[in-house]
Amino acid sequence: MLSNPRHIWIGAREYTGEMDLGKSLVDLATAPARIWLAGVGAGLNLANAAVGVAKQAVGDPRGTSGSRAMASMLGIDEVALARANRLARLLDDDMPLGRAIAQDGVLDRFLRPGGLVDLLTTEGGLLDRLTAEGGVAQRALQPGGLADRIIAEDGPVARVLSEGGLADKIIAEDGPVSRVLAEGGLADRILAEDGPVARVLAEGGLADRLLAEGGVVDALTSEDGLIDRVLGEDGVAQRLLAEGGLIDLLTAENGPIEQLTDLADTLARLAPGMEALEPAIQTLQDAVTALTLVVNPLSNIAERIPLPRRPTRRSSSSRTVRSQRVIDADDSG
């Protein structure tokens, strides 16, 4: 038997019979009413936010608070919502980006069958010809090819990255990079308050004029614009990438690119011989310089020597000799 029947132990917590059971019963009875009132309040807040959004849509500045209230109620960050609205405006049908991704827009023509991507990736297309056996890519990557010569031990890459090479000169303490990033250097002048970047991004600046209606971007992405003419059917890109086109002629076997590669090989083989001839060329140049120094004074002396004058021929008076031919008529008989 328990010493005190009014105390009951449940686990480690003591349940006291002296609790206010009346208050608990009242709370239980009024719980549905409180839940209903909370739902009504949430509905009113949602309606108020919707009204604010509608006001903002019709141009009422007082609607901004309603939009913020709705975003706050839905747990959406205001900055993220503003960025989403800005992105939506960029994707409008009357904006350059919207026209580019619209149906029959630049992106659609770029990816449609027979378009630029199709010409690049189709069987027998540019990528197929570049990666074919014996093609440009294989010749460039084969042992002793262009790639091997570029990354050879004494090739261009090694010379650029060697100690005292081009890379060291660029990132040296007083090199171009240091001067660009120094205080008051090129980077500071570009990013200054009245520098080129600020002028480009200012209101009415270059960026605004480029993106304005009828601007450069509009002219590029509009219907029948430059991109449309380049990527359109029978456009410049299609003619370049078509079979027998300019790209095909350039990358063909024994074409200009392959001939340039062979010429580079020939020049590379001639380089040691040219280096061996350099002393002889220098000697010849010194000899020519010495001969020039000797000949110039002799020419000056020759100009100063007086030459004897030749006697002028007098014109003899010519006499006219008349030949008389006596014809005897009797002798002729």
Per-residue pLDDT of the chain (333 residues; tens, 9 = 90+): 444 444 444 444 444 444 455 566 656 666 666 676 666 566 666 666 665 655 555 554 444 555 565 555 555 666 776 777 777 777 777 777 777 777 777 777 777 787 777 777 878 777 887 788 877 788 888 888 888 888 888 888 888 888 888 888 888 888 888 888 888 888 888 888 888 888 888 888 888 888 888 778 888 877 777 887 787 777 778 778 777 777 878 877 777 887 887 788 787 777 777 777 788 888 888 888 888 877 777 677 666 666 666 655 555 555 554 544 544 544 544
Answer whether residue 46 is part of any domain: yes
Answer whether residue 38 is part of any domain: yes
Answer whether residue 237 is part of any domain: no
Host domain of residue 64: 21-85
Answer whether residue 29 is part of any domain: yes
> What type of residue is 127?
L
Return the half-sphere exposure (C-beta side, CA atoms, 13 A cut-off) of residue 107.
8
- DSSP conformation class of 306: P
How far, in Å, CA of 272 to CA of 240, rounded?
A: 40
Rounded (10°) angle between helices 64-74 and 78-90: 110
Calculate the dihedral angle through the C-alpha atoms of 132, 138, 139, 145, rounding to the nearest 10 degrees: 180
Total structural domains in the chain? 1
**φ and ψ of 281, to 5 deg:** -65, -40
Return the half-sphere exposure (C-beta side, CA atoms, 13 A cut-off) of residue 42.
8
Indicate yes or no: pTM above 0.85: no
Answer whether residue 95 is part of any domain: no
Answer whether residue 318 is part of any domain: no
Q: What is the pLDDT of residue 212?
A: 81
Q: What is the pLDDT of residue 65?
A: 52
Answer whether residue 324 is part of any domain: no
Q: What is the pLDDT of residue 93?
A: 74
Q: What angle do CA 163, 167, 168 make, to 5 degrees?
A: 50
Q: Decide: 210 and 94 in contact? Cβ < 8 Å.
A: no
Q: What is the pLDDT of residue 311?
A: 57
Answer whether residue 54 is part of any domain: yes
How far, in Å, CA of 198 to CA of 192, rounded?
A: 7
